[in-house]
Structure 1
Amino acid sequence: MMKESHHNTQLRAERGDVTREKLLNSAIDVFGRYGFDGATTRKLADAAGVNLQAIPYYFGGKEGLFIAAAEHLASIIGSHVGDLRAAILTRFAELDAQGAQMTTAEARQHLTQIVQRMVVLFVSEESESWARFIIREQMEPTEAFRRIYGNIMRPMIEMARRLIGAILKDDPASEHIRLRTLSFVGSVLVFRTAHAAVYAQLEWETAGPRELEILQRHAAELVAVLGAEKDRQS
């Protein structure tokens, strides 16, 4: 009987995990489409295919689900670049311990890897609901924005600042590098935030293997031209 009881408890826990995951994934899309006020608990529950009472049971209410969805979104995006980010931060730590600076060539290599991965991610259908959620939070920031920014956006931008600072041989904390980094990030984000215009201009119906290869080459070019003006002047 004890084994059966343990088995039943495990099954309930697994079902609970599945229900929670359904709500989190659906909530990103629903909050992105309708905003916090327009996303009723009924819409949220129906989109996830779960009982209405699951929202207060797992998250304490709609606000708790909203914040949890933001954190879940940050973790999803982070999972796509987490290995690269960890490797680059480890490399920076090694260099810091040696009192050394990352070379321009190495910084370009790391930045290219990140941007190539991100640009492919941004044209994927998977990122559509993420973009709606994040764009709403950019326009009218709430606690959800602070969670997304703090958990994924700020760490990624700060790492890009260090890499771009190494490429341009300038202080990553300087206003100049902050602005260059934001402009650079924007040149990649356009593939999601202006998705329709990008496809219309390129006359693409979808992003298949050929299109993804083109985007990855373009991403490498974006990195390659960083600092080109300094090279011409020297």
Structure 2
Amino acid sequence: MRCSFERTKADMIPATLLDTAIDQFGRLGFEGASTRGIARASGTAMSSITYHFGGKQGLYLAAAEHIAGSIRKLQGEPVARAVAMGQESSAAAAEALATILDSLAQMMLRPETEAWSRFIIREQQFPTEAFDILFAKAMQPILDAFVELIGRVRPDLAGRDTVAMALLLFGQAMVLRAGRAAVCRALHVDQIDDETAALLRARLRANVLCILSEKPQ
């Protein structure tokens, strides 16, 4: 067991370095961003990037790990509690799914997810090894929870239909970040204030409960 005052390499990484890397990789892409620019913007020595990550590729993958870890930190417990709640009945499973979606919506409304989303959207369009990290460590656990809960509410759905519904429901929360400009323009607001956020969250909850209550054709 290491002593409480012992520091690992991860402990010594400047907190601003990965945040700056995420921001610049998201804005400029892997090719456009430079480790020199990231080091300068974060107030970190170039040697620190080499020491901790080996270079640009290692820093890029570490940025993906940091995003995935941050999402797990925000969503891990709420998702686990909701899945446990959903074991009680079909109605409880529907409520649990609405709860997870609301937790995701709140995360999408947080300022720090703006930089995460730019990074993730690039990886969605042109997936690299970083996407494998994001999917396995952040997206897959949430998707699995969706699939499990939908299966309890709609056992009539085949496996692929359940996954398709899970993905599309997930997308309704994602639009609050990935489609932020369109949301603001359509609702005639400059930004998503508390009143607008409450409206969107309420509509999201109503949507998911309505979709889950649809009778099989």
Q: TM-score, normalised by structure 1?
A: 0.83
Alignment equivalent of 2:190, drawn from 205, 211, 230: 205
Asked whether 1:39 is paired with 2:33, we answer: yes
Match of 1:55 in 2: 49
Displacement of 1:87 in angstroms is 2.0
Mapped partners of 1:49, 1:221: distance in 2: 46
Mapped partners of 2:85, 2:98: distance in 1: 16
Asked whether 1:182 is paired with 2:167, we answer: yes
Match of 2:176 in 1: 191
Mapped partners of 2:75, 2:17: distance in 1: 24
The one-letter code of the counterpart of 2:53 is F
Mapped partners of 2:83, 2:180: distance in 1: 31
Deviation per CA, 1:91-113: give whole Å up to 9, x if none: 57xx5xxxxxx522111111111
The one-letter code of the counterpart of 2:205 is A
Displacement of 1:18 in angstroms is 5.7
The one-letter code of the counterpart of 2:174 is L
The answer to whether the 8 Å contact 2:95/2:209 transfers is: no
Match of 1:129 in 2: 115
The answer to whether the 8 Å contact 1:167/1:226 transfers is: no
Cα pair distance change 1:156/1:76, threshold 3 Å: same
Higher alpha-carbon deviation: 129-138 or 108-117: 108-117
Displacement of 1:15 in angstroms is 10
Mapped partners of 1:62, 1:209: distance in 2: 39
| 5+ long unaligned stretches in structure 1 | 1-9, 96-101
Please list every run of at least 4 consecutive aligned residues from structure 1 whose deviation after the TM superposition is greater than 6 angstroms. none
| 5+ long unaligned stretches in structure 2 | none
State the identity as a percent. 35
Deviation per CA, 1:197-228: give whole Å up to 9, x if none: 11000112222322222122112112211233
Cα pair distance change 1:15/1:69, threshold 3 Å: closer
- CA RMSD in angstroms comes to 2.3
The answer to whether the 8 Å contact 1:19/1:50 transfers is: no
Mapped partners of 2:194, 2:72: distance in 1: 24
SS of the residue 1:225 aligns to: helix
Displacement of 1:88 in angstroms is 3.6
Asked whether 1:150 is paired with 2:136, we answer: yes
The answer to whether the 8 Å contact 2:123/2:130 transfers is: yes
Aligned residues between the structures? 213
Deviation per CA, 1:21-57: give whole Å up to 9, x if none: 2211111111111111111111111221111111011
Mapped partners of 1:180, 1:89: distance in 2: 17
Mapped partners of 2:73, 2:196: distance in 1: 23
Considering fraction of residues, name the structure with more helix.
Answer: 1
Mapped partners of 1:91, 1:16: distance in 2: 35
The answer to whether the 8 Å contact 1:123/1:191 transfers is: yes
The one-letter code of the counterpart of 1:36 is F
Higher alpha-carbon deviation: 150-159 or 77-86: 77-86
Cα pair distance change 1:175/1:136, threshold 3 Å: same
How do 1:9-28 and structure 2 match up within 5 A? 13=7, 17=11, 19-28=13-22
SS of the residue 1:165 aligns to: helix
